[in-house]
Amino acid sequence: MRLDKFLSSQNICSRKEAVKLAKSGVITINGKPAAKCDIKIDPERDIIEVGGETVSYRKNLYIMMNKPKGVLSASTDRNAPTVIDLLPDELRRRGLFPAGRLDKDTTGLLIITDDGEFAHKMLAPKSGVFKLYRAKLDLPLTDEGKNTLEHGITLSDGTKFRPAVISFEDENDRSDVLIRITEGKFHEVKRMFAFVGRDVLELHRKRIGALELDKELAFGESKLISEKEIKSIFCGQYS
């Protein structure tokens, strides 16, 4: 890979800036100054330093976003802002897309990546990855409604939803519900609650597998996460 391409792919700088940095002598390859950016490097073997700091190689990017309302979980759209539009310049990279969808009015944990294989694995129903949502309902959920959703349902159009796990933030307010599901069907949570006669007024995703939304991230903010964190998505269950 060319040095300038490598540096921009690792979000160190743009390809143009890489040329300037190389000229100024702050980039080294295996300890030797690199004056030009068209040099080919092996990202897996060569040690690249910028200003004395080693650039650790990330083949793929994994970004955690706290999705706000009013933004589409898509890469591009002509009419509405997308989650990709919200990324700060330093996290932008070609090929990024949201791994899975949250509705326009849903908030919370969204993973943005350029790793198609990972996204496929995370979204495949057979992976059984839990997604935990907090739903604010128009009316309290009855025991009967809870029980129905915990046994799995079939809608009148034949769509089946697997059993969910339901709990409450506070037993005294049963319109504030925590629901765990393992599928990602279109409008799944809203359609599940509609089945038991409840409207979802607000929906927020808190967790995917063992990966929890960072409470420090405000709506619309995002941050890079490590491969270790991303793997925690597939790590067992959680309390």
Provide, rounded to whole angstroms, the least separation between the CB of residue 154 and ligand URA: 17
Residue from 188, 211, 213, 230 touching ligand URA (CB under 6 A): that is 188
Q: Does the annotation count 173 as an active-site position? A: no
> Rounded to the nearest 10 degrees, how much is the dihedral formed by the CA atoms of 214, 217, 221, 223?
-40
Return the number of the residue (38 or 199) whose C-beta is nearest ligand URA. 199
Q: Which amino acid is at 41?
A: I
What is the longest distance spanned by two Cα atoms in the chain?
71
Provide, rounded to whole angstroms, the least separation between the CB of residue 47 and ligand URA: 43
Q: For 79-83, which contacts have Cβ atoms below 8 Å and span 24 or more sequence positions?
A: 80/104, 83/110, 83/112
Task: Please pick, among 46, 103, 105, 176, the residue that the annotation labels catalytic.
Answer: 103
92 binds ligand URA (CB under 6 A): no
> Rounded to the nearest 10 degrees, how much is the dihedral formed by the CA atoms of 204, 207, 211, 216?
40
Q: Which of 85, 68, 21 is nearest to 49 (CA)?
A: 21
Provide, rounded to whole angstroms, the least separation between the CB of residue 94 and ligand URA: 26
Q: Mask: binding to ligand URA, 191-230, rule CB under 6 A, as x and -?
A: ------------x---------------------------
Return the number of the residue (89 or 157) whose C-beta is nearest ligand URA. 157
Provide, rounded to whole angstroms, the least separation between the CB of residue 99 and ligand URA: 13
Rounded CA-CA distance 166/239 in Å is 12
* Residues in contact with ligand URA by the rule CB under 6 A: 102-103, 106, 187-190, 203
